[in-house]
């Protein structure tokens, strides 16, 4: 039902992995982040993850923590998120939101979903909301036509993978390594195993995140996953402005095209 299905239908049709790029909204400023996202879309991101800067990002390493702090110090407000999503969508990009759950809860789960859908957002990735606690979100996502991207981890049991993918739509987010966000020299060998275990329970596309920073890594991940998710590396390159994120997006977009993606 979700709009994300068409993204993956296209990338699968082209026999390649999708490229998903992350930045926090409002980093370094609200307008600045819109320009960065447009550059990422233009240079080859099939989908962008618009992050909500949050005071207590326990799943994030130092790079994204610092970016969130920069955005909050620059005065980011939650309503700015919708401005960013709307601008990305208007420019032809496709956006999902990645957010810790308390800001959504505080805004009102239904109201947040309504406003995100109105801004053109396609779904929410929820790093600290598991389906077990997600009844409100599941109802709101159905009501407003948003996709629910829950996470699976190398430590997830078969039973938890099964229940998590059953509650998911759009795609499933597989965390490649046990740890926080941040570019790594090697993407854990656990990633391929986790994707394989997850495929046994779902035909949904599977995206792999945590640690990817280069075209070669993107090619490697795209050989076993449907999408390659890159965050911290984009945040680091954002220091060079739009040319920096464009260059990285172009490199990664080449990467996801140099290896055949398995049909899930």
Partner 1 sequence: MTDEKPEVDPHAPGQHDPDTKGHFGPYGGRFMPEALIGALDELSAEYDKARLDPEFTAEFTRLLRDYAGRPSLLTEAPRFAEHAGGARVFLKREDLNHTGSHKINNVLGQALLTKRMGKERVIAETGAGQHGVATATACALMGLDCVVYMGEVDTERQALNVARMKLLGAEVIPVTSGSRTLKDAINEALRDWVTNVDTTHYLLGTAAGGHPFPVMVRNFHKVIGIEARAQFLEQTGRLPDVVTACVGGGSNAIGIFHGFIDDPGVRLVGIEPGGKGIETGEHGATLGHGSPGMLHGAMSYLLQDEDGQTTEAYSISAGLDYPGVGPEHAWLKDTARAEYRSATDDEAMHAFQLLSRTEGIIPAIESSHALAGALKLGQELGPEGHILVNLSGRGDKDMDTAAKYFGFYEES
What is the nearest approach in angstroms of partner 1 to the Cβ of residue 94?
A: 24
What is the nearest approach in angstroms of partner 1 to the Cβ of residue 60?
A: 8
For residue 167, state whether it binds partner 1 (rule: CB under 8 A): no
For residue 189, state whether it binds partner 1 (rule: CB under 8 A): no
Which parts of 224-253 interact with partner 1 (CB under 8 A)?
Answer: none
- Measured between alpha carbons, how far is 76 from 74 in angstroms, rounded to an integer? 6
Residue 47 or 109 with smaller CB distance to partner 1: 109
For residue 186, state whether it binds partner 1 (rule: CB under 8 A): no
The length of the chain is 264
Q: Residue from 11, 164, 202, 236 that binds partner 1 (CB under 8 A)? A: 164
Q: Which stretch binds partner 1 (CB under 8 A): 31-39, 51-59, 201-209, 235-243?
A: 51-59
* Separation of CA 220 from chain center: 18
For residue 85, state whether it binds partner 1 (rule: CB under 8 A): no
Total Cβ atoms within 10 A of residue 110:
15
**Local structure of 146: helix, strand or coil:** coil
Q: How many CA atoms lie within 13 A of 214 on its CB side?
A: 7
What is the nearest approach in angstroms of partner 1 to the Cβ of residue 10?
A: 28
Give the per-residue contact string, 115-154, with partner 1 (x = CB under 8 A; - = no).
Answer: ------------xxxx-xx----------------xxxxx
Residue 11 or 65 with smaller CB distance to partner 1: 65
Q: Residue from 157, 185, 203, 263 that binds partner 1 (CB under 8 A)? A: 157
CB 130 within 8 A of CB 159: no
Q: How far is CA 90 from CA 38, 203, 249, in A?
A: 10, 30, 20
What is the nearest approach in angstroms of partner 1 to the Cβ of residue 43?
A: 30
CB 161 within 8 A of CB 198: yes
By CB under 8 A, how many residues form the interface with partner 1? Answer: 39
Catalytic residues, by residue number, are 49, 60
CB 164 within 8 A of CB 150: yes
- Measured between alpha carbons, how far is 126 from 87 in angstroms, rounded to an integer? 22
DSSP 213-263: -SHHHHHHHHTT-SEEEE-HHHHHHGGG-HHHHHHHHHHHHHHHHSSPPPP
Q: Which residues bind partner 1 (CB under 8 A)?
A: 54-59, 61, 65, 69, 72, 77-78, 101-107, 127-130, 132-133, 150-157, 160, 164, 175, 178-180
């Amino acid at each position: 039902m979700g709009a994300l299905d068409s993204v993956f239908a296209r990338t699968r049709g082209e026999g390649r992995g999708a490229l998903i790029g992350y930045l926090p909204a409002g980093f370094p400023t609200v307008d600045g982040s819109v320009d960065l996202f447009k550059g990422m879309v233009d240079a080859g991101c099939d989908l962008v993850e618009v992050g909500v800067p949050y005071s207590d990002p326990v799943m994030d390493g130092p790079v994204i923590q610092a970016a969130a702090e920069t955005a909050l110090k620059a005065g980011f407000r939650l309503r700015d998120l919708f401005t960013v999503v709307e601008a990305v969508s208007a420019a032809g990009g496709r956006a999902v939101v990645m957010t810790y759950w308390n800001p959504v809860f505080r805004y009102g789960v239904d109201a947040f979903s309504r406003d995100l859908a109105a801004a053109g957002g396609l779904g929410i990735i929820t790093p600290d909301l598991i389906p077990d606690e997600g009844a409100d979100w599941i109802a709101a996502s159905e009501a407003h036509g948003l996709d629910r991207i829950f996470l699976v981890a190398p430590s997830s049991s078969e039973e938890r993978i099964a229940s998590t993918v059953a509650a998911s739509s759009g795609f499933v987010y597989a965390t490649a390594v046990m740890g926080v966000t941040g570019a790594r020299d090697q993407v854990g060998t656990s990633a391929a195993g986790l994707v394989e275990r997850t495929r046994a329970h779902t035909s949904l596309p599977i995206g792999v995140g945590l640690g990817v920073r280069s075209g070669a890594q993107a090619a490697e991940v795209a050989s076993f996953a449907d999408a390659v998710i890159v965050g911290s590396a984009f945040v680091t390159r954002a220091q060079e402005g739009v040319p920096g994120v464009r260059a990285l997006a172009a490199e990664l977009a080449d990467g996801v095209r140099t290896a055949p993606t398995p049909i899930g």
